[in-house]
Structure 1
Amino acid sequence: MDRDSTIIELCRQGHAAGFTRLVAAYQERVYRTAYAFVQNREDAQDLTQEVFLRTVRAIDSLDASRPLWPWLRRVTTNLALTLLKQRRGHLPLDHLPEAALVAEPASEPAWTLLDLRQALADLPPLWRVVVTLRHQEDLSYEEIARLTELPVGTVKTYLFRARRFLRARLAVQEE
């Protein structure tokens, strides 16, 4: 039996060791994914807790022969999207600075990882979500569209605009 099926079976039988193993195996990954979306430590911690609570509640419906991470990622993404939609605290696409939509990439990057993290935090939430799913989780456009319930064309548009925004933001760091 592999790790995930062992975790699922232990949780189904009500063993505390199952939950302990579940959290130990996936807590960091769930937290990093949640944080990439919400850009706030407390919110990411809350989302991480909620993901594990929902996992335990749904344990009987999970297929023990399938890996847990895709299911956990979907729950994390859905919870993060719900939180972001509730906040509506992002710039509409037509209010982004024009320079952010037209800048060209620089030849030699002079920015740091901290600059990149800040630039990602400044993205509108849905743009940040699709960038994270594409580049951190390495999902296809179709998988991102399913997870976010956006049309594939919208996913591509958001990625294109987000990349341009990031290039522009990071180009400012080089000046």
Structure 2
Amino acid sequence: MRTLPPSSSTDQQLVAQVLGGDTAAFGHIVQRTEGLVAQLVFKMIRHPADRPDIAQEVYLKVFKNLASFKFQAKLSTWVGQVAYNTCLHYLEKKQLVLLDPAEAALDDAVETGRRAPPPLVADPAYDPESTLFSHDLASVLGAAIEDLPPLYRTLISLYHQQELSYEEIAQITSLPDGTVKNYLFRARKLLRQRLLARYQRDDL
């Protein structure tokens, strides 16, 4: 089967080509998804030495299970799901967690004794991105994101860097849409609190 140019091949065509024995077509799948896989692996796995092996394991699983892909989502979303689950298995094997309950409560603890924490819903008037994701704060923000719990920094990466929708993130992580929104809200809030605690408010 002749391989179409990667820019013109649909998900269905690439999958059919790979299943037909065209290994070059699988290379196109890797090219289309390696950015997403890299973000997931880098955000979920702290140890740099383990990341290449995990990324390789992801694509071995994708190749092995490609025939089971039913096109109920985009191919890239399915590959992202394989990557997420592979990283999750690694964390479980190492007895690590994506989000410690104590870490999840840190943002609420800041307000303890002064006022009740805000509800865990997306408030349209609350827009930390306009401040925290500005170009001038890129390096500061990047370092602060890396200090967040793995799940929080993964969700921020998928939403803000990969520009995935809530639905796509939910498919990748197997979390309900509402949970994705709430965790993203918590992640932004915790990120802002930590930045404000570390730097002068006028600097932000």
Are 2:88 and 1:81 aligned? yes
Distance (Å, rounded) in 1 between the aligned partners of 2:72 and 2:191: 40
Deviations 1:54-88 (A, max 9, x none): 11101222357974211111112222233334423
Instruction: Indicate the larger mover: 108-117 or 5-14.
Output: 108-117
Instruction: Tell me if 1:161 matches 2:171.
Output: no
Match of 1:50 in 2: 57
Alpha carbons of structure 1 residues 134 and 62: separation in structure 2 relative to 1, 3 Å: same
2:120 counterpart residue number = none
Partner of 1:96: 106
1:28 aligned to 29, 35, 40, which one? 35
**In structure 1, what is the Cα distance between the partners aligned to 2:39 and 2:138?**
15
| Alignment gaps of 5+ in structure 1 | none
Q: Which residue of 2 aligns with 1:68?
A: 75
Cα distance in 1, alignment partners of residues 71 and 169 from structure 2: 24
Aligned to 2:15: 8
| Structure 1 counterpart SS, 2:148 | coil
> Residue deviations 1:132-173, cap 9 Å, x none?
333334444455444434444543332222111111222245
Task: State the identity as a percent.
Answer: 34
SS in 2 for 1:79: helix
Cα 1:60–1:116, aligned 2, differ >3 Å: closer, same or farther? same
Unpaired runs of 5+ residues, structure 2, are: 118-125
Aligned match of 2:45: 38
> Does the residue aligned with 2:81 lie in a helix, a strand or coil?
helix
Native 8 Å contact 1:145 1:155 kept in 2 = yes
When residues 94 and 160 of structure 1 are mapped into structure 2, their CA distance, relative to the original with a 3 A threshold, is closer
> In the aligned structure 2, how far is the partner of 1:139 from the partner of 1:17?
27
Aligned length: 173
Would the alpha carbon gap of residues 113 and 42 (structure 1) be closer, same or farther in structure 2, given more than 3 Å must change?
farther
| Alignment partner of 1:127 is 2:136 | no
TM-score by length of 2: 0.64
The structure with the largest alpha-carbon Rg is 2
Q: 1:81-121: per-residue Cα shift (whole Å, max 9, x none)?
A: 3333442376523673744998x96x976963222222112
Name the structure with the higher helix share.
Answer: 1
- Structure 1 match to 2:139: 114
The structure-2 alpha-carbon separation of the partners of 1:62 and 1:130, relative to structure 1 and needing over 3 Å to count, comes to same
